[in-house]
């Protein structure tokens, strides 16, 4: 790939960096408890929590770093952390 | 038609005709007349530009960088302490490949504080990735701005440029200058087409950081663009000659060099004095010539070697000093002539506005021919 | 939720911030406010570094980084250029507290005085994180950093936090606000208001940094919230220099906030430094007084 003049780049490439590999713990979402408030998606620093077809939420484990912010924020305690099985 | 005018005014008039869209500059002697003239032109609606009255040179160049990245042709001017304050932005603007043209009204750098001329300021930025062009007189100073925009904005080059002319000696001196009309300048310099720009329709991240996997290659690309700019300059200089009758297709220019035994090498306004001195020495039968360096960056090493092939002695006049290692130009000329058998001597001269007369040039030639050099010339030993 | 989704797209996953990074969340939220018609200007620092190792940019909008201290000047040039071209993008600086409170003050002051139509957002993580947690003028009194370490004869950072919003309001900025990632919608609304207010506007958003402050990554928002609940951080707006709205709270003692962070650990171990804790409590009390944030009995929270 030729270098882009001025150390510039178009969007998109960060997605090639799968930060999910950093994870030690992973969030496990329990859709039964979810009231669809959307807070978990709003506050995830990775922006990797997505709405499912049912309107509940799930993390994209390719990018989830396992920080636990979603767990803390969920008003229904519908997300818990589990040790990542490697 | 020749008009009699101040050097700064000639530069401002030409810059106006180059149609910069954003101007950001901060006043500093002896650059002030240029930016004052431009401010007045903007105030009079003679020029369709945003003039940003920045609070510092650091912001002046930073604003130019931003405006250039957003897709505008930009202009700034500074000198000395102002240029030193821009140091970090200079490297950055070149690395980000922004085709900014900036006039340098060459002045010494403190301490001690001095407003007078030498070329320490721009030469100290020789490694920054800016093209550096030096003018001998006000006509050349004005003309080089048009050429600089042509070269910088060439999509094969994309580098910023200093157009350097000596503070006071040229900036504040009245000389006859031929000013091309707006139509003529437009015919020579097309409207700015950015290579890439910040644009919500086509997002781009500019000025990202490079890991060791990429950094060297980016620097290599800048260096290659520098070298390519030689041909771009030659072409732009030749076409300038075709249109305006003043040819600038040479990176270095010889004066009575053909049969010379001793050659002086110099940049900027001192070349005028040197030429007069040479004419006098020639009348006394001395085979002396001058090689004027017009483009200090990229450094025309091969062109210098070719031009000085026939001489036995070279005296480089350095209006700067790389403290602890002699003059910057002398060092590079020595390296260009390495192995050629030519004796090269370096003279630190005219620092901080010290006057240089024809007899000083003759004295330097005497010293060189006696094998004495690599020294300060013209020190007032009585005050030491 | 559609807007949230758009925010996710504009600042994409794959960036290299620490897990639980407050500034990374601020980046996402601010793009939710700006949408696509924006040009961002970044300063050197954590956010720049974690989002743009060549060629892996996380930004889906035009973004430029030049230096640590010149974002406001670069933005001035961009704004002038857009004006000349008749373009409509909003120009928004996103810079750390070091870039804003310390090294960039010259450029910021110039840009605000000249009145460029830009929004300057400082993501305040209260130290130079990118270079390893050194103090800035935004570091709170008493915090231990690598250049203001606690020691036998040091209580940590000996200086109070600089009043940057006040300084910029004094420049005549039409809109100045503080915000916190603990209140995402409030932050988003403030950014929207700033970019739609002509002239130079300033927003300082509190963005806790788990790595630099020393707390668990999942607690980032909880920490931001505690800062507000103790009165150590106040969310307020200044319109034409007048404080208009400050978030009211039932204040908790500052100790609750301090005890949860390693940067204040020296105030509790090996021996309690009640004197320093009292000084920090006095900072919160002064904030409460200045902004009238205390909810009086019977008054309800807004
Ligand atoms: C002129 C200059 N001085 C120092 C640095 C080193 N440096 C890079 S980022 C940084 C600190 C950034 O702090 P802040 O703005 O608070 O951003 P953060 O990393 O905390 O997000 C420093 C000191 C630099 N890049 N340029
Ligand atoms: S925060 Fe909890 S309740 Fe709200 S959407 Fe997410 S999982 Fe559902
Ligand atoms: S653990 Fe952190 S990164 Fe993973 S989904 Fe939750 S908030 Fe996002
Ligand atoms: S050090 Fe702090 S600000 Fe920097 S990436 Fe990590 S959490 Fe974010
Ligand atoms: Mg910081």
Angle at B59 between CA B33 and CA B192, to 5 degrees: 75
What pLDDT digit, counting tens, does each position of B290-316 carry?
999 999 999 999 999 999 999 999 999
Sorted by sequence, the CB contacts under 8 Å of residue C247 that are 6+ apart come out as C183, C186, C228, C234, C235, C236, C293, C302
Q: Is residue C13 in a domain?
A: no
pTM of the model: 0.97
Is residue B115 domain-shared with residue B190, that is, in the same domain? yes
Task: Provide, as residue numbers in chain C, all residues whose Cβ is less than 8 Å from the Cβ of A22.
Answer: 19
Is residue B239 domain-shared with residue B259, that is, in the same domain? no
Do B209 and C67 make contact, defined as CB atoms within 8 angstroms?
Answer: no
Question: What pLDDT was estimated at residue C300?
Answer: 57
Instruction: Please tell me the residue having the least CA distance from ligand 2 atom 6.
Output: A40
β-partners of residue A25 are A83
Q: Is the CB of C127 under 6 A from ligand 4?
A: no
Question: What pLDDT was estimated at residue C296?
Answer: 84
Do B209 and C49 make contact, defined as CB atoms within 8 angstroms?
Answer: yes
CA–CA min distance B75, chain A (Å): 19
Determine the distance separating the centroid of ligand 4 and the alpha carbon of C157, expressed in angstroms: 20
Is residue B238 domain-shared with residue B278, that is, in the same domain? no
Q: Is the CB of C96 under 6 A from ligand 1?
A: yes
Is residue B198 domain-shared with residue B256, that is, in the same domain? no
Index of the ligand 4 atom closest to the CA of residue C18: 6
Sorted by sequence, the CB contacts under 8 Å of residue C242 that are 6+ apart come out as none
Do C56 and A47 make contact, defined as CB atoms within 8 angstroms?
Answer: no
Determine the distance separating the centroid of ligand 2 and the alpha carbon of C185, expressed in angstroms: 16
A-B interface: how many C-beta pairs under 8 angstroms? Answer: 41
From chain C residues 220-239, the ones with a CB under 8 A of any chain A CB are: 220-222
In this prediction, residues A34-52 reach a mean pLDDT of 97
Instruction: Please tell me the residue having the least CA distance from ligand 3 atom 4.
Output: A64
B95 touches chain A (CB under 8 A): yes
Full domain range(s) for residue A51:
34-86
Index of the ligand 3 atom closest to the CA of residue A43: 7
For residue C141, name the pLDDT band (cuts at 50, 70, 90).
very high
Q: Is residue C26 in a domain?
A: yes
What pLDDT digit, counting tens, does each position of B195-233 carry?
999 999 999 999 999 999 999 999 999 999 999 999 999
From C48, which residue of chain B is nearest by alpha-carbon distance? B208
What pLDDT digit, counting tens, does each position of C220-233 carry?
999 999 999 999 99
B207 touches chain A (CB under 8 A): yes
Measured distance CA(B262)–CA(B300) in Å, rounded = 20
Nearest ligand, CA of residue C94?
1
Q: Is residue A60 in a domain?
A: yes
Lookup result for tokens 């910029």: C168
Neighbours of B, requiring at least 3 CB pairs below 8 Å, are A, C
Full domain range(s) for residue C269:
22-291
Per the structure, the count of domains in chain B is 2
Residue B108 pLDDT > 80: yes
Please state the ipTM of this predicted complex. 0.97
- Rg (C-alpha) for chain C, rounded Å, is 19
Residue C301 pLDDT > 90: no
Full domain range(s) for residue B279:
252-383
Q: Is the CB of A67 under 6 A from ligand 3?
A: yes
Q: Is residue A20 in a domain?
A: no
CATH number at residue B227: 3.40.50.970
Task: Provide, as residue numbers in chain A, all residues whose Cβ is less than 8 Å from the Cβ of B210.
Answer: 7
From A10, which residue of chain B is nearest by alpha-carbon distance? B204
CA–CA min distance B60, chain C (Å): 8
Do C54 and B214 contact (CB within 8 A), yes or no? yes
Per the structure, the count of domains in chain C is 1
Is residue B95 domain-shared with residue B188, that is, in the same domain? yes
Q: Is residue C78 in a domain?
A: yes
What pLDDT digit, counting tens, does each position of B29-51 carry?
999 999 999 999 999 999 999 99
Question: What pLDDT was estimated at residue A65?
Answer: 98
CATH number at residue B285: 3.40.50.920
B218 touches chain A (CB under 8 A): yes
Is residue B204 domain-shared with residue B292, that is, in the same domain? no
Residue B348 pLDDT > 50: yes
Q: Is A16 exposed, middle or buried (0-12, 13-18, 19+ CB in 10 A)?
A: exposed
Question: What pLDDT was estimated at residue C12?
Answer: 96
CATH number at residue C127: 3.40.50.970
For residue A86, name the pLDDT band (cuts at 50, 70, 90).
low
Q: Which two tokens stand for residue B30?
A: 């002896």
Per the structure, the count of domains in chain A is 1
Task: Provide, as residue numbers in chain B, all residues whose Cβ is less than 8 Å from the Cβ of A1.
Answer: none
Measured distance CA(C234)–CA(C180) in Å, rounded = 9
Task: Provide, as residue numbers in chain B, all residues whose Cβ is less than 8 Å from the Cβ of A14.
Answer: none
Question: What pLDDT was estimated at residue A1?
Answer: 61
Q: Is residue A84 in a domain?
A: yes
Q: Is residue C1 in a domain?
A: no
Is residue B305 domain-shared with residue B202, that is, in the same domain? no
Q: Is residue C16 in a domain?
A: no
Do C59 and B211 make contact, defined as CB atoms within 8 angstroms?
Answer: no
Task: Provide, as residue numbers in chain B, all residues whose Cβ is less than 8 Å from the Cβ of C37.
Answer: 200
Q: Which of B204, B221, B244 is the last residue in one of the domains?
A: B244
CATH number at residue A45: 3.30.70.20
Dump the DSSP string for B130-182.
-EEEE-SSHHHHHHHHHHHHHHHHSTTT---EEEEEETTTTTT-EEEEEPPPH
Q: Is residue C5 in a domain?
A: no
Residue C1 pLDDT > 90: no
In this prediction, residues A33-54 reach a mean pLDDT of 97
């Amino acid at each position: 790939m030729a270098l882009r003049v001025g150390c510039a780049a178009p969007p998109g490439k960060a997605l090639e960096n799968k930060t999910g590999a950093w994870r030690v713990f992973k969030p496990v979402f329990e859709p039964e408890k979810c009231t669809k408030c959307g807070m978990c998606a709003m506050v995830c620093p990775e922006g990797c929590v997505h709405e499912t077809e049912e309107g509940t939420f799930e993390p994209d484990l390719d990018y989830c770093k396992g920080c636990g912010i979603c767990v803390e924020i969920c008003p229904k305690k519908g997300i818990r952390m589990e040790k990542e099985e490697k | 038609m020749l008009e009699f005018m101040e050097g700064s005014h000639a530069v401002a008039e030409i810059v106006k005709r180059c149609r910069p869209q954003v101007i950001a500059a901060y006043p500093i002697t002896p650059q002030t007349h240029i930016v004052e003239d431009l401010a007045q032109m903007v105030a009079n609606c003679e020029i369709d530009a945003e003039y940003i009255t920045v609070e510092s040179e650091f912001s002046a160049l930073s604003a130019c960088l931003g405006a250039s990245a957003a897709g505008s042709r930009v202009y700034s001017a500074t000198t000395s302490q102002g240029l030193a304050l821009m140091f970090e932005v200079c490297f950055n603007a070149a690395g980000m490949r922004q085709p900014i043209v900036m006039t340098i009204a060459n002045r010494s750098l403190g301490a001690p504080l001095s407003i007078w001329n030498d070329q320490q300021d721009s030469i100290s930025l020789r490694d920054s990735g800016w093209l550096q062009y030096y003018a001998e007189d006000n006509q050349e100073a004005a003309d080089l701005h048009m050429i600089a925009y042509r070269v910088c904005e060439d999509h094969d080059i994309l580098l910023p440029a200093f157009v350097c002319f000596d503070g006071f000696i040229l900036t504040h001196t009245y000389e006859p200058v031929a000013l091309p009309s707006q139509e003529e300048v437009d015919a020579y310099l097309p409207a700015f087409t950015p290579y890439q720009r910040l644009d919500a329709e086509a997002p781009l991240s500019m000025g990202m950081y490079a890991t060791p996997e990429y950094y060297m290659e980016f620097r290599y690309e800048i260096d290659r663009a520098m070298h390519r700019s030689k041909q771009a300059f030659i072409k732009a200089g030749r076409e300038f000659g075709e249109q305006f009758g003043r040819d600038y297709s040479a990176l270095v220019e010889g004066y009575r060099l053909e049969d010379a035994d001793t050659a002086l090498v110099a940049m900027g306004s001192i070349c005028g004095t040197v030429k007069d001195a040479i004419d006098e020495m020639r009348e006394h039968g001395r085979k002396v010539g001058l090689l004027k360096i017009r483009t200090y960056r990229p450094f025309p090493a091969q062109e210098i070697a070719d031009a000085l092939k026939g001489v036995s002695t070279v005296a480089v006049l350095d209006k700067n000093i790389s403290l602890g290692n002699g003059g910057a130009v002398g060092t590079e000329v020595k390296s260009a002539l390495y192995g050629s058998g030519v004796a090269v001597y370096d003279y630190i001269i005219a620092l901080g506005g010290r006057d240089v007369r024809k007899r000083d040039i003759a004295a330097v030639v005497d010293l060189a021919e006696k094998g004495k050099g690599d020294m300060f010339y013209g020190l007032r030993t009585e005050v030491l | 939720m559609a807007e949230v989704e758009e925010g996710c797209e504009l600042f994409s996953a794959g960036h290299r911030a620490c897990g639980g990074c407050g500034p990374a969340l601020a980046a996402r939220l601010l793009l939710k406010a700006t949408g696509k018609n924006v040009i961002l200007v970044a300063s050197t620092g954590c956010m720049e570094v974690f989002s743009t190792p060549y060629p892996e940019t996380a930004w889906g909008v035009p973004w430029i980084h030049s230096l640590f201290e010149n974002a406001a000047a670069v933005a001035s040039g961009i704004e002038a250029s857009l004006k000349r071209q008749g373009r409509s993008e909003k120009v928004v600086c996103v810079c750390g507290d070091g870039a804003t409170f310390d090294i960039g003050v010259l450029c910021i002051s110039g840009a605000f005085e000249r009145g460029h139509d830009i929004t300057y957002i400082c993501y305040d993580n209260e130290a130079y994180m990118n270079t390893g947690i050194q103090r800035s003028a935004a570091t709170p009194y008493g915090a231990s950093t690598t250049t203001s370490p606690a020691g036998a004869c040091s209580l940590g950072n000996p200086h109070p936090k600089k009043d940057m919003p006040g300084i910029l309001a004094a420049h005549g900025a039409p809109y100045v606000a503080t915000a916190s990632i603990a209140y995402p919608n409030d932050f988003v609304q403030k950014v929207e208001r700033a970019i739609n207010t002509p002239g130079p506007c300033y927003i300082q958003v509190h963005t806790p940094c788990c790595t630099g402050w020393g707390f668990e990554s999942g607690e980032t928002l909880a920490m931001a919230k505690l800062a507000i609940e103790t009165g150590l951080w106040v969310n307020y707006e200044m319109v034409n220099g007048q404080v208009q709205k400050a978030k009211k709270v039932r204040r908790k003692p500052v100790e609750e906030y301090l005890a949860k962070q390693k940067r204040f650990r020296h105030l509790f171990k090996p021996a309690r430094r009640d004197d320093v804790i009292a000084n920090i409590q006095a900072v919160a009390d002064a904030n409460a007084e200045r902004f009238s944030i205390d909810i009086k009995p019977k008054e309800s929270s807004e």
